[in-house]
């Protein structure tokens, strides 16, 4: 079974000979630069791709991961308190999202799924905007063109086609930016994801597919989606792939940079499987105890992405009180901002219903809007009467 395999070979050293020109599949071995025990594992080729990461930047990756974990916890709490209708937690996937999100250039364009709040955070989306749609106040929280990240996608896998199309546009324009699609392991079963890979390979467009294999698609383990390692699927489409320890922020940063660099140089699409684990429920409406063994969670908690980086920083003498205090202060501040943003978010007005269905006036909708506003007015009239 795939899940078992992942557990067994999760921490073997990566294959040698992998570069931007030749990011051939990693043969089932995970790219890893930080061990679960927090030791830096050096690798002659992958190290090159993170050799510029300063101590300060390492601390800032730690801060990012801590902040998004905090956003996630705060949003979960807000949901429990009835302030949000629903929330899809990313607990455990911080390294996958920050490692890849921080590798991107501003002019790259991201097509995320509903769970990729950490990636959105990297793109500069405000905490409050992350929850607008989950509160039910809006269809989406942000302007895609302002942050170069599309709104979150709920239809599984759809966004992989959008990313591929965007990349076709980049190619036509002769630009060197990259489109990036994020999706889960379950998504790789959908036709859309497979069709996206066909197009991406056929046209050799600058797109990077980042599959966060968090081992579960709601209640279904990854073995129901794939009989082979997810990364191996890509080779059937003629797309090179890499399999990375998704709980290792440095390794994720390295492989994402390799894939982006390849795309920028006209090398075409790359598929990244970030092997990670969803430690929480699928969404706040889900009950994982119905389908998931508690031991499995315990095993993965031992591979926690934040604890791992924390140990590395501590061992390097970088986790000073000052750094911890600064990190916590930032997390507190963002959490406060999120909470205040949610509590003070104004309710939408009833007639907002009819806005933006089309870009120009539409007689059907105008008529319905007019009728509905008369209907609403008929109530305000009667209340007044009642008050007299």
Which residues form the interface with other proteins (CB under 8 A)?
A: 85-86, 114, 133-139, 154-156, 186-187, 189-192, 217-220, 224-225, 285, 290-291, 347-348, 350, 352-354, 357, 362, 364-365, 368, 371-372, 374-375, 377-378
- State the binding partner of 214 from ligand TPP, other proteins, none, CB within 5 to 8 A by kind: ligand TPP
User: Nearer Cβ to ligand TPP, position 154 or 301?
Assistant: 154
Closest CA to 75 of 334, 312, 252: 334
For residue 308, which of 92, 102, 151 has the smallest C-alpha distance?
92
Binding-site partner at residue 378 among other proteins, ligand TPP, none, CB < 5 to 8 Å by type: other proteins
Taking the complex as a whole, the smallest distance from the CB of residue 157 to ligand TPP amounts, in Å, to 7
228 is in the binding site of which of other proteins, ligand TPP, none (Cβ under 5 to 8 A by kind)? Answer: none
Q: Which is nearer to ligand TPP, 101 or 267 (CB)?
A: 101
Q: Which does 216 bind (CB under 5 to 8 A by kind): other proteins, ligand TPP, none?
A: ligand TPP
Q: Which does 48 bind (CB under 5 to 8 A by kind): ligand TPP, other proteins, none?
A: none
Give the chain's end-to-end CA distance (angstroms, integer).
Answer: 73
Catalytic pick from 291, 314, 367, 375? 291
80 assigned to active site:
no
Nearer to other proteins, 45 or 296 (CB): 296
* 189 interacts with, out of other proteins, ligand TPP, none, CB within 5 to 8 A per kind: other proteins
Between 240 and 281, CB nearer to ligand TPP: 281
**Is 63 or 129 the residue whose CB approaches other proteins more closely?**
129
Nearest residue to the partner ligand TPP, using Cβ: 184
User: Which residue matches tokens 């190290």?
Assistant: 47
Q: CB count, 10 Å around CB of 238? A: 14
Catalytic residue among 243, 278, 308, 339, which?
278
**Residues near ligand TPP (CB under 6 A):** 115, 154-156, 183-187, 214, 216-218, 278, 282
C-alpha 134/C-alpha 136 separation (Å) is 5
* 282 has catalytic annotation: yes
* Residue number, 115 or 339, with CB nearest to ligand TPP: 115
Nearer Cβ to ligand TPP, position 282 or 303? 282
Burial class (CB in 10 A: 0-12, 13-18, 19+), 174: exposed
Provide the minimum distance between the beta carbon of 325 and ligand TPP in the complex, in angstroms, as a whole number: 33
CB of 266 to ligand TPP, least distance (A): 30
- Between CA 91 and CA 68 the distance in angstroms is 9
Out of other proteins, ligand TPP, none, what residue 278 binds, judged by CB under 5 to 8 A for its kind, is ligand TPP
Cβ neighbour number for residue 144 with a 10 Å cutoff: 14
- For the beta carbon of residue 128, count every other beta carbon within 10 angstroms: 19
Strand bridging mode 241-245 / 270-275: parallel
> Rounded to the nearest whole angstrom, what is the least distance from the CB of residue 309 to other proteins in the complex?
31
**Active-site residue among 102, 123, 262, 282?**
282
CB of 28 to ligand TPP, least distance (A): 20
CB of 115 to ligand TPP, least distance (A): 4
- Which tokens hold the place of 15? 């294959």
> Measured from the CB of residue 225, what is the shortest distance to other proteins in angstroms?
5
Q: Which residues are catalytic?
A: 278, 282, 291
């Amino acid at each position: 079974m795939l899940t078992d395999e992942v557990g067994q070979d999760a921490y073997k050293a990566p294959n040698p000979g992998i570069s931007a020109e030749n990011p051939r599949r990693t043969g089932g071995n995970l790219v890893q630069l930080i061990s679960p025990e927090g030791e830096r594992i050096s690798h002659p080729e992958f190290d090159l791709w993170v050799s510029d990461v300063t101590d300060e930047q390492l601390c800032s990756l730690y801060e990012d991961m801590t902040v998004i974990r905090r956003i996630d916890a705060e949003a979960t709490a807000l949901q429990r308190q009835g302030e949000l209708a629903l929330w899809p937690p990313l607990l455990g996937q911080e390294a996958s999202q920050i490692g890849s999100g921080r590798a991107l250039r501003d002019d790259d364009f991201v097509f995320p799924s509903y769970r990729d709040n950490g990636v959105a955070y990297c793109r500069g989306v405000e905490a409050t905007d992350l929850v607008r749609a989950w509160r039910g106040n809006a269809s989406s929280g942000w302007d895609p063109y302002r942050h170069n990240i599309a709104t979150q996608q709920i239809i599984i896998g759809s966004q992989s086609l959008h990313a591929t199309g965007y990349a076709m546009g980049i190619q036509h324009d002769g630009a060197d930016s990259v489109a990036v699609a994020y999706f889960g392991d379950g998504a790789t079963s959908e036709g859309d994801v497979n069709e996206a890979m066909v197009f991406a390979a056929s046209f050799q467009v600058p797109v990077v597919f980042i599959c966060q294999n968090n081992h579960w698609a709601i209640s279904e383990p990854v073995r129901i989606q794939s009989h082979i390692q997810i990364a191996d699927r890509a080779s059937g489409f003629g797309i090179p792939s890499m399999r990375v320890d998704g709980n290792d922020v440095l390794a994720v940063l390295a492989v994402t940079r390799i894939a982006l660099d390849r795309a920028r140089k006209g090398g075409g699409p790359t598929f990244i499987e970030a092997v990670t684990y969803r430690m929480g429920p699928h969404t706040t409406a889900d009950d994982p105890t119905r389908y998931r063994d508690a031991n499995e969670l315990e095993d993965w908690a031992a591979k926690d992405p934040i604890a791992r980086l924390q140990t590395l920083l501590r061992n390097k003498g970088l986790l000073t009180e000052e750094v911890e205090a600064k990190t916590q202060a930032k997390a507190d501040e963002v959490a406060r901002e999120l909470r205040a943003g949610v509590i003070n978010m104004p309710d939408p007005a009833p007639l907002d219903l009819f806005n933006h269905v089309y870009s120009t006036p539409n007689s059907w909708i105008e008529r319905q809007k007019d009728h509905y506003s008369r209907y609403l007015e008929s109530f305000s009239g009667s209340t007044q009467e009642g008050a007299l």
